[in-house]
């Protein structure tokens, strides 16, 4: 396995009580108009840098952080407790609520060092649940919210239906082992062919450089505790992104959630030819453009007579 090193960014460390959390920052290019700050939140089975700062030969901008930095955004991400470089010492399973607590600490730090009052967020899979739960708890801190590979109640989810078969095992242990075949399974379970092999191999190298096991908490939550959110309490402008082939949530589940979001500045985007890990798919540049359009869209001037 090739060991992966990350360059071009700045590492930060923040404290959640006595827990050390790793954060990674890449600044906006000074060559373009400044667009604000995006805080990227990773999912259940990989840390932050493999997900958002991946580098693949002959695949331009495999790093979402690089693409958005070159388009005027300060980009930040963090390893949730139990993942990557962040502490793994506590005897807990690092569930979604704990991840939302991490986001609160990380967001507070970003706002403190930059002086901004609200951030733009992107969360994928369980990271979308963590980001949405944070937005529900701290609406004043969220300027815009992007939820990718999201799930609400879990009804009609093919992925969670299969995962529930191992729920007793996940409940019994705080961590689950991962290896290269596991990473392959992320791309094989829904629709093989949506990602190229070189990207999958680079992704596996990056993930396995940092971790050989992952917490079980998000799996337990997604298999046995959904729904974790009340959509009417998510007040920020929100976009829901759903890969055409993604098995984590049914279209009906996501549309019901979308309909209940109270802010009419909202979008629902189906991404053609994409399964679960959208930034590692063949159609990844399409995802960047969808997000960029959402993040840079000006606020509406007219809100209707009832406002």
Neighbour-count burial of 89, counting CB atoms closer than 10 A to its CB (0-12 exposed, 13-18 middle, 19+ buried): exposed
What would the pLDDT profile of 51-69 be if each residue is shown by its tens digit?
999 999 999 999 999 999 9
Per-residue pLDDT, 304 = 87
Q: What angle do CA 120, 44, 221 make, to 5 degrees?
A: 100
Task: Say how many CA atoms lie within 13 Å of 54 toward its Cβ.
Answer: 31
Report percent pLDDT > 70 for the chain.
Answer: 100
What would the pLDDT profile of 208-229 be if each residue is shown by its tens digit?
999 999 999 999 999 999 999 9
Q: Are strands 119-124 and 142-148 parallel, antiparallel or unpaired?
A: parallel
Per-residue pLDDT, 305 = 81
Give the span between the Cα atoms of 242 and 254, in whole angstroms: 8
Comparing C-alpha atoms, which of 158, 170, 147, 160 is closest to residue 278?
Answer: 147
**Cα dihedral 92/218/152/147 (nearest 10):** 110
Q: Are strands 213-215 and 238-243 parallel, antiparallel or unpaired?
A: unpaired
Helices 96-114 and 217-224, packing angle to 10 deg: 120
Which pair of tokens denotes residue 218?
């998000």
Per-residue pLDDT, 53 = 98
Q: Are strands 73-78 and 19-26 parallel, antiparallel or unpaired?
A: antiparallel
Q: Are 34 and 113 in contact (CB under 8 A)?
A: no
Task: Parse the chain into domains and list their residue ranges.
Answer: 10-296
This model's pTM is above 0.95: yes
What would the pLDDT profile of 177-193 be if each residue is shown by its tens digit?
999 999 999 999 999 99
What would the pLDDT profile of 40-51 be if each residue is shown by its tens digit?
999 999 999 999
Say whether the peptide bond before residue 227 is cis (omega within 30 degrees of 0): yes
Domain boundaries 10-296, CATH class: alpha beta
Per-residue pLDDT, 114 = 98
| Cβ partners under 8 Å of residue 63, min gap 6 | 52, 53, 54, 55
Query: Average pLDDT of the chain?
Result: 97
Report percent pLDDT > 90 for the chain.
Answer: 97
Residue 111: strand, helix, or coil:
helix
For residue 1, pLDDT over 80 is answered with no
From residue 33, give the alpha-carbon distance in Å to each of 103, 148, 242. 27, 26, 29
Give the span between the Cα atoms of 159 and 188, in whole angstroms: 12
What would the pLDDT profile of 90-132 be if each residue is shown by its tens digit?
999 999 999 999 999 999 999 999 999 999 999 999 999 999 9
**Mean pLDDT, residues 266-281:** 98
Comparing C-alpha atoms, which of 295, 124, 274, 293 is closest to residue 199?
Answer: 274
Per-residue pLDDT, 225 = 98
Q: What is the DSSP string of 73-100?
A: EEEEEEPPTTSTTS---SSS---HHHHH
pLDDT level of residue 306 (50, 70, 90 thresholds): confident
For residue 307, pLDDT over 80 is answered with no
């Amino acid at each position: 396995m090739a060991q992966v090193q990350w360059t071009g960014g700045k590492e930060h460390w923040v404290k959640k009580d006595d827990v050390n959390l790793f954060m990674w920052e890449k600044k906006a290019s000074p060559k373009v108009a400044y667009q604000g700050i995006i805080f990227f939140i990773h999912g259940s089975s990989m840390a932050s840098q493999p997900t958002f700062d991946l580098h693949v030969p002959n695949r331009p901008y495999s790093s979402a952080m690089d693409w958005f930095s070159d388009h005027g955004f300060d980009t930040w991400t963090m390893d949730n407790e139990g993942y990557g470089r962040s502490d793994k010492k506590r005897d807990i399973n690092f569930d979604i609520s704990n991840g939302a607590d991490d986001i609160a600490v990380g967001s507070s730090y970003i706002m403190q060092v930059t002086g901004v009052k609200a951030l733009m967020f992107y969360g994928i899979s369980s990271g979308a649940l963590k980001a949405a739960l944070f937005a529900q708890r701290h609406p004043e801190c969220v300027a815009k919210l992007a939820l990718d590979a999201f799930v609400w109640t879990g009804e009609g989810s093919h992925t969670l239906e299969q995962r529930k078969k191992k729920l007793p095992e996940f409940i019994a242990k705080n961590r689950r082992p991962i290896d290269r075949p596991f990473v392959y399974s992320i791309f094989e379970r829904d629709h093989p062919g949506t990602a190229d092999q070189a990207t999958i191999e680079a992704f596996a190298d990056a993930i396995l450089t940092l971790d050989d096991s992952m917490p079980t908490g998000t799996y337990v939550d997604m298999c046995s505790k959904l729904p974790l959110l009340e959509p009417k309490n998510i007040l920020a402008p929100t976009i829901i992104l759903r890969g055409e082939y993604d098995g984590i949530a049914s279209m009906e589940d996501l549309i019901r959630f979308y309909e209940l979001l109270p802010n009419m500045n909202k979008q629902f985007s189906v991404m053609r030819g994409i399964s679960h890990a959208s930034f590692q798919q063949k159609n990844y540049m399409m995802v960047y453009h969808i997000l960029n359009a959402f993040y840079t869209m000006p606020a509406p001037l007219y809100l209707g007579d009832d406002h």
